[in-house]
Structure 1
Amino acid sequence: MVAVAGEIVSTIEEIKVDHRMKGLEIYVYRDRSQAILERLKNLKNAGLLGGALVIFVLFFFLRNVRSALIITAAIPISVLCTFGLMFLLRKVAGSQVTLNIISLTGLMLAIGMLVDPAVVVLENIFRHKQEKNLDLREAAISGSKEVSIAVIAATATTICVFVPLVFLSKSRMGIFMHDFGISICSALVSSLFVALTLIPLFASRFLKLSDPSAAVRGNNNTIGKPKSSLIKYLTVYYIKLIELTLRFRWITLVVTILIVVLAYYLFGKLEKEVVRQGIYREVHLQVDAPRSYGIDDTKMLFERIEYILRERKDELEIETVSDNFDRSGGYLEIYFIRQEEAKKPVSVLENEIKSLFPVIPGVKYRKMFRRGNDGREINIEIKGRNINTLTRLADDIKGRLAAVPDLSDVETNLEKGKDEIVVSVDRDKAKRYGLTSERIAFGIAGSLGSRAVSKFKIEDKEIDISLQLKEEDRQRLDQLENLESENIEKEGVVLGRVVDFERRRGPAAIERKDRKPIVIITAQYNKRGLKSIRDGIVAKMADFNLPAGYEWNLGEEFRRFEREEAETRFGLMLAIILIYLIMASLFESYIHPLTILLTIPFAFTGVAIVFYVLDMPLDSVSRLGLLLLCGLVVNNAIVLIDYVNRLRRGGMDRHSAIVKGGRDRLRPILITSFTTILGLLPMVLPLFLPLLYGPLEGRGRIWAPVGLVVISGLITSTILTLVIMPTIYSLMDDVGRWMKKVFAFV
């Protein structure tokens, strides 16, 4: 797309300088290739900022420049491997993945995850070096081998959450997220490859310990330099906290249950929504003129509106304005300056523009919804046999919807059409005057229409001959009433004697469903989510009795919302099942994977609290973040419990293994969590710092909540995994022992 758009723009520039096109003005209203280039720029900036934050975190925890630089090197190498893998998927596997908006967003999300496997591998290499006094080569081999299965399993659990998208490939969400999943999975596979190959190599060649003998004597598992005082005190207090939770296991269990219940309760309170944020900085407004207006009046109205907008062009950040109108009204297309130069969001500018429009009796201004813009519109369908009955029912339902909180501009498709004249023939009078309905209809159509009555032949083509009244003779309704129609006796009969003319606004279109006419009632909503709007509408319509043969249904927006909710539930359930199967094969146990799965409600608790406090709805893209979160949050628990199991297999008792496992895995868990969180900060910060980053709009506004979902869930799951997971592990281990005794007895 970028190459094609570039060629088109260059061709337009050539046309502009062509002397034959002098006086021709060409404007490019929308160039989607700019969004891709902007995303590439954002990816570079996010990578640089995220990389800088990752280096800071690594140095803070590892206290060694070489260690931090080696792990930081995993970021650019993994990104290059990701691009190479995506290229191979296109050339070898026939994949259609490209570097588009969706795939680049996936790479932005993956920036902070690229170092996670490398951190676990490098930390374990140094622990082997310092505790067992091995040389760097042997430590690199044994250390990477020990955690390789856990790292592979952790990566596999993250990758497997995108498998449900294969089953949803024909749905809107599946098609939309195909490239997103491929880019993240490619990045994770690349980071795993780098962690298990290059990181051990770099560690064996370039790392140095400040005083290995001292580290062995003190049984210190630091990397290179001693721990900072903060990490030292944090480790000491963390061990005391583990001892405390293990001593009061049942109290810890009650706290865990309360946390899960809280997560369930808050999720029920969250607003649910579909993605409605606008992509482009533009507004489309419909202007309805009164019936008394002629074409000149409408033209003067639009010229007045354009003058107001031109006078405040800089203040309103307007780049250009386009309009189209006829006698009954028209629409305005207002395009704003680019987001990098903007100071106000489109929603604020839209309200300011509406406040400037002249207040004229009979003139209405309303927003038009188009694909790619911020459209928050719902509709209800009424279906039945008779259109007149549907019209009466629609008026009643309009009143009910107007009483639903947050709904505004309630109208039907019967009101959105243009003015029309309904001709009703009095058959008895027409018969007395020697006229038929067919003759009257053809007479009116011939006078007002532009249908060709004959053709004029010339050498190479035919030209239509149209016959109709002069424009000045067909402007008013009284002129139509005074038209004469010839009867069977060749006498002229004034139409007003046999025909009634009624002027009214017709429907925008004649719509049918299941061979029955339908009336569509639309309304706009602003703050509340679709879930609350749906519940409010259902409550208002609960006591509404329809005649036999008539029914009402929620419109397409609600059906789409319900489909996406069902797809999300299916994706989450399938992802959890796949994660359980992977962990069951890793631990060779049915109990310990259930322990690890508790980290998912831990993460959802953080998401629910943050979105509830910020009063943000969970839209379909944010729910994709929940899917990604399921695969991420189990990684810390996998690394912790796998190490505890290794210690127990080495002969250590359960309590000591849990305490030592928590102590040794505290730092790598904190590092991987912080690197992922800080890697996502460039995506989320514009939500909270609009003064620094400017108004958050477009695709950045769509994807920022995904980063917020991952960050909020990862923070709570990391804390609760470190604090509560050791106790839950011991309790579930007791349950496993009890079940073995029961089944052995049976």
Structure 2
Amino acid sequence: MYRFAINNPIAVLMFFIALVIFGTFSIFSMPINLYPKVDIPLIKITTTANGDLKFIESKITKEIENAISDVQGIKNINSTSYNNFSISVVEFELGKNLEVAANDIRDKLNTINLPAKPTLEKISPDAGSIVSLFLSSKDHLKLMRKIDNDIKPFLQKISGVGTINDIAFLKPQVQIKLLPNALQKYHINALDVAKIIQSHNFKQYLGEFENSKDNFTIKGYFEAQNLKELENIRIFSGIFLKDIANISYGLENQKQFAMLDTKDGVLLELNKISGYNSLKVIENIKNSLKTLQTIAGNEVEIKIVYDKSQNILKHINQVIFDMIFGVILTLLIVYVFLRNISATILAFIVLPTSIISSFFLINLLGYDINRLTIIALTLSIGIFIDDAIVIIESIAKKAKTLPPLQASFEGIKEIGFSVLSISAVLLCVFIPIAYMNSVPGLFFNVLATSVASGVIISYLVSVFLIPTLSARFLNTSESTFYKKSEFLFIKLDLFYEKLLYKVLANKIKFILSTLIIITLCFSLTPKIGLDFLPIEEDSEIQVLLESKNDLSLEAMKEKSLKVYEYIKQDPSVAYAYLLIGYNDAKEIKKAKIYVKLKPLNERKFRQPKLISLFQEKLNSYEDLKIKVLELPKIEGAGIEDPVQIQILGDDLKSIKEAIDRMKEVFSKHEGFVAIDDNEGDLKEEIAININREKAAKLGINPQELAYVLAYSFGNLSVGNMDYKNFKDEIILSFDEAFKQNPTSLELIELKNHNNESIKLASIASFSYKKDLSLINRHNKTTSIKLTSSIENISLGEVRKIFESNLAYILGKNNLSFAYSGFLDFLDDTISGFLFSISLGMILIYLILASLYSSLILPLIIMISMPLAFGGACFGIFITGNHFSLFVLVAIILLFGMVGKNAILLVDVANKKCDEGMEVEKALIYAGKSRLRAILMTTFAMIFSMLPLALSKGSGFEGNSPMAIAIIFGLISSTLLTLLVVPALFKFAHNLDVKIKKIYQREKI
């Protein structure tokens, strides 16, 4: 194999050129996103029906939950019931096909009878918002028509654009505003008017006309064609609709509001189709803006207010810069150790070849290019060059006494087994990650796949291309720099030799001392915080506002605008826009402010600090509950607050009491910010209680009474009107001035069977009361969710505080709890990490035992792993960082890295012992012969990650701790491995020999 490569240089060169070409093609064809594709299968079931909260919960929400609960693959069902509205979000296990899931849900819903037909929406976090457009115009009616008929259809035709959310869009309609005085004058009510309009304005199938030749359908088109025809509908003799109502074109009742700077308008959130390249879709949208402006007209102003590509490119470019800088530093280290330009160039060839070719394998496995992909390859630079360094050094030694081709063959032959062992160990670490079926597992998988792809390519480059090129281009003559600096390396060799003699002479003491040091480092683990993902510098934040009481839209505008103006004036803010009633239920009491921060070099504070400062300042707004948060990292999954804990039970009062106790516990600890819950405040309502005896005597039908009130105050449709290709609903209600005063109810007139007018006040009483505005349920059980931001405290500490007070919080009631969001992911992260490490170590042992035909040597090699973990813990602790998903992935990578030093030592020492050399001499020989290679590869790895560790650019909050963990792990592992492994080898060698005698016999 090696011989073939060295003897056939053109074939080998063509093979690797082909890999680079395929890798380059993959880079330009793969989707580019910020994070790996996190496709949590979600189905949202929305049902709108007339009914109060308890009716909606019992007759819709619970019925839906019971019907779908046995659908295969459901993980969670989260439902919220409102007045007239129900939402159920069904979360499936990862891997469930969204189309199949939707069909399963639809089939189950078809088996039940509901008051209204539910609608299903498939939600994919990968299909999140990528661009937001703000549209404004002086003529709001024309703007809404343009959006509905021209702008949205045009945008949805752009390649890669999926659903479009329109916030503050108001549907054009024909409005009939009844005049109360006129109705009283003529003794008619809203129901009378509705019936008359419907009898004059309709379209109906009337039958068929058929003869021996033809067949015609007969349809009656009796709809009004313009406002004048509506106005002239006859109410009764001499009285027309225009005499009792104002009729005009208008916009539906406003329940949402959007503002940018001082202009109100409509926000269009453009979501991409899952699987599409985010950057390409955004580019398509931007390229279409000129055409869109032409379609919209000059009177419509269009601005891009959110552009996800800015954040993606900022993070990706930062990591690429760190990668390139790391490559440069790595080459400097290699040159300092080798002091040979030709050898350094040969080592350098491995890096671009491995990095570029890795994308071919990554693409082949179905992954995209994202931040973690590039971070993984950056962290692996040292691994990629490691094999090449060892092989070049081995070939260079042989070249001093052998011809070039023979030297290459003998050099790779001597070290090839070690290189194979190192690569096998690295791959073993990542194999278990493939079995992680969870959200954290998706992150682990991407990083593992990227590194494994690079390891495979770098191994092939190192054992085939490097010997082939070395045989022809490696110059082994000693440079002036080499001659002048060699004495330093000789001194280093002598120092290590003396130190190793002392360690071997006192091996028991040294091993015990090492155990104490590692134990102390391990003891730091409980003191290190644990998070899922860190808060990072994205130059954008969101401010969530909620009124403590139900308000009108105008009142909520007034309160929100004060906060909005304060935020806009901050010197760190580039711009911001305000949304009121932005959620599915269009709750006016809730608002959101998107804040785009100025570039980092133009402001004083980083994003996490600004979040803290804004939160502190905005806490002074006592009539609003305000949270300042980073934007969700996983869109569509409902994860905004890092802390989300649900209390579940059958008694709502007991749940509320438990939530209050949890708030009490959390408020006693520093670090909890903006503690809140999703219980929903009590909503004020006017209760109409009918006196049934009086109503019966006067001949009043309660159902007709309800219809009269619904048409008076409910903005109900009484038909449609086609006008200039627009099909507008006709909405009937009382004039707005009449609807503003609750006492207007008393003036409503009803009709009995004798057509006599009777005042509502004569048969009904009115009372004011407060009732629940919503009811939440989790997995068919009533729930309330507590949410909180955190500052200077980790999610791991939050869990400790909660679980240590669990008995007090839940009390003696039959209550339970469930973690949501990042707290839920934390379990998957830890269990996935422990599973990967445990199974990885078992696989490493199996591979090494097979390769070395020994049961003891693998254990000696694997001692480097706990040594590395101790160093990683120490590094994370002293730098004030936390364990997180990123850091744990880095530690898995570290475990694969550190075994190489021990393998290099053990491999040489074992061979010398087999040749008959004494154990101590074999260890001294192995240490001296491999010291420079070990130090060179370790320093190469460390320096390749220094830019990532020291960078303060975009995403450093997540990138830096990863690099720090690996750097400190490499330092501790290398320093101790150079001494501990020889000591353990000497201590266990005799035992290894004795065990081998048991199972080794002569071969057949």
Do the aligned partners of 1:580 and 1:593 also contact (CA within 8 Å) in 2? Answer: yes
Cα 1:494–1:75 shift into 2, 3 Å: same
String of CA shifts for 1:359-383, please: whole Å, max 9, x gaps: 5552443235652289553122222
Match of 2:979 in 1: 723
String of CA shifts for 1:622-649, please: whole Å, max 9, x gaps: 1111111111110111111101111222
Moved more, 532-541 or 632-641: 532-541
SS state of the match for residue 29, structure 1? strand
Cα 1:387–1:655 shift into 2, 3 Å: same
Runs of 4+ in 1 over 6 A off after TM superposition: 435-440, 456-462, 484-490, 741-744
SS state of the match for residue 201, structure 1? helix
Match of 1:216 in 2: none
String of CA shifts for 1:129-184, please: whole Å, max 9, x gaps: 44xx223322211111111011011012112222122112x321232343433322
Cα 1:436–1:637 shift into 2, 3 Å: farther
Higher-Rg member (1/2): 2
The residue correspondences of 1:460-471 to structure 2 (distance < 5 A) are: 464-471=729-736
Q: What is the CA-CA distance between 1:254 and the residue it aligns to?
A: 0.8
Cα 1:328–1:77 shift into 2, 3 Å: closer
Do the aligned partners of 1:512 and 1:518 also contact (CA within 8 Å) in 2? Answer: yes
Match of 2:239 in 1: none
Do the aligned partners of 1:62 and 1:227 also contact (CA within 8 Å) in 2? Answer: no
Question: Of the candidates 650, 667, 679, which is equivalent to residue 932 of structure 2?
Answer: 667
The residue correspondences of 1:353-368 to structure 2 (distance < 5 A) are: 353=614, 359=620, 362-367=623-628
Q: What residue identity is the alignment partner of 1:321?
A: Y
**Counterparts of 2:315 and 2:395, CA distance in 1:** 37
**Counterparts of 1:557 and 1:37, CA distance in 2:** 25
User: Normalized against structure 2, the TM-score is what?
Assistant: 0.65
Moved more, 534-543 or 591-600: 534-543
Match of 1:217 in 2: none
Match of 1:235 in 2: 493
**Counterparts of 1:487 and 1:395, CA distance in 2:** 51
**Counterparts of 1:443 and 1:641, CA distance in 2:** 91
Q: What residue identity is the alignment partner of 1:299?
A: K
Match of 1:115 in 2: 385
**Counterparts of 2:752 and 2:646, CA distance in 1:** 45
Q: What residue identity is the alignment partner of 1:665?
A: R
Computed over aligned residues only, the root mean square deviation of the Cα atoms, in angstroms, reads 3.4
Match of 1:144 in 2: 412
Q: What is the CA-CA distance between 1:602 and the residue it aligns to?
A: 0.3
**Counterparts of 1:226 and 1:465, CA distance in 2:** 94
Q: What is the CA-CA distance between 1:443 and the residue it aligns to?
A: 5.4
Structure 2 unmatched ranges of 5 or more:
1-276, 582-586
Do the aligned partners of 1:288 and 1:363 also contact (CA within 8 Å) in 2? Answer: yes
Match of 1:257 in 2: 515
**Counterparts of 1:138 and 1:195, CA distance in 2:** 17
Pair 1:124-2:394 in alignment: yes
SS state of the match for residue 618, structure 1? coil
SS state of the match for residue 769, structure 2? strand
Q: What is the CA-CA distance between 1:471 and the residue it aligns to?
A: 1.8
**Counterparts of 2:642 and 2:450, CA distance in 1:** 33
String of CA shifts for 1:5-24, please: whole Å, max 9, x gaps: 322212224545x4963243
Q: What residue identity is the alignment partner of 1:500?
A: S
The residue correspondences of 1:594-743 to structure 2 (distance < 5 A) are: 594-686=859-951, 690=952, 696-698=953-955, 700-739=956-995
User: Normalized against structure 1, the TM-score is what?
Assistant: 0.86
Moved more, 530-539 or 587-596: 530-539
Cα 1:585–1:8 shift into 2, 3 Å: same
**Counterparts of 1:681 and 1:251, CA distance in 2:** 34
String of CA shifts for 1:206-229, please: whole Å, max 9, x gaps: 3334479xxxxxxxxx99647533
Question: Of the candidates 299, 316, 328, which is equivalent to residue 557 of structure 2?
Answer: 299
Pair 1:70-2:346 in alignment: yes
Match of 1:82 in 2: 358
Cα 1:536–1:355 shift into 2, 3 Å: closer
SS state of the match for residue 243, structure 1? helix
Higher relative strand content: 2
Aligned residues: 710
Match of 2:332 in 1: 56
Q: What is the CA-CA distance between 1:410 and the residue it aligns to?
A: 2.3
Match of 2:376 in 1: 106
SS state of the match for residue 715, structure 2? coil
Q: What residue identity is the alignment partner of 2:417?
A: I
Do the aligned partners of 1:425 and 1:437 also contact (CA within 8 Å) in 2? Answer: no
Match of 2:285 in 1: 8
Do the aligned partners of 1:276 and 1:375 also contact (CA within 8 Å) in 2? Answer: no
Question: Of the candidates 738, 763, 775, which is equivalent to residue 473 of structure 1?
Answer: 738
Cα 1:705–1:540 shift into 2, 3 Å: same
The residue correspondences of 1:414-563 to structure 2 (distance < 5 A) are: 414-415=679-680, 420-424=683-687, 434=696, 444-453=709-718, 464-479=729-744, 491-494=758-761, 498-503=765-770, 506-507=772-773, 509-544=774-809, 546-563=811-828
The residue correspondences of 1:29-428 to structure 2 (distance < 5 A) are: 29-38=305-314, 41-42=317-318, 44-86=320-362, 90=364, 95-130=365-400, 133-168=401-436, 170-210=437-477, 225=483, 228-278=486-536, 280-289=538-547, 291=549, 294-312=552-570, 315-324=571-580, 328=589, 330-339=591-600, 344-353=605-614, 359=620, 362-367=623-628, 370-372=631-633, 375-415=640-680, 420-424=683-687
String of CA shifts for 1:503-532, please: whole Å, max 9, x gaps: 46x44x422234332122222221111121
Do the aligned partners of 2:810 and 2:816 also contact (CA within 8 Å) in 1? Answer: no
Higher relative helix content: 1
Do the aligned partners of 1:381 and 1:519 also contact (CA within 8 Å) in 2? Answer: yes
**Counterparts of 2:472 and 2:727, CA distance in 1:** 87
**Counterparts of 2:458 and 2:476, CA distance in 1:** 25
Do the aligned partners of 1:485 and 1:495 also contact (CA within 8 Å) in 2? Answer: no
SS state of the match for residue 381, structure 1? strand
Question: Of the candidates 566, 577, 591, which is equivalent to residue 842 of structure 2?
Answer: 577
Q: What residue identity is the alignment partner of 2:283?
A: G
Q: What is the CA-CA distance between 1:613 and the residue it aligns to?
A: 1.6
Structure 1 unmatched ranges of 5 or more:
213-221, 691-695
Q: What is the CA-CA distance between 1:231 and the residue it aligns to?
A: 2.0
**Counterparts of 1:11 and 1:454, CA distance in 2:** 37
Moved more, 288-297 or 592-601: 288-297
Cα 1:198–1:742 shift into 2, 3 Å: closer
Moved more, 523-532 or 326-335: 326-335
**Counterparts of 2:802 and 2:707, CA distance in 1:** 46
Moved more, 577-586 or 287-296: 287-296
Match of 1:21 in 2: 297
Q: What residue identity is the alignment partner of 1:628?
A: L
SS state of the match for residue 676, structure 2? strand
**Counterparts of 1:565 and 1:371, CA distance in 2:** 22
Cα 1:114–1:642 shift into 2, 3 Å: same
**Counterparts of 2:617 and 2:665, CA distance in 1:** 31
Cα 1:425–1:358 shift into 2, 3 Å: same
Q: What residue identity is the alignment partner of 2:609?
A: V
Do the aligned partners of 1:414 and 1:519 also contact (CA within 8 Å) in 2? Answer: yes
**Counterparts of 1:388 and 1:482, CA distance in 2:** 39
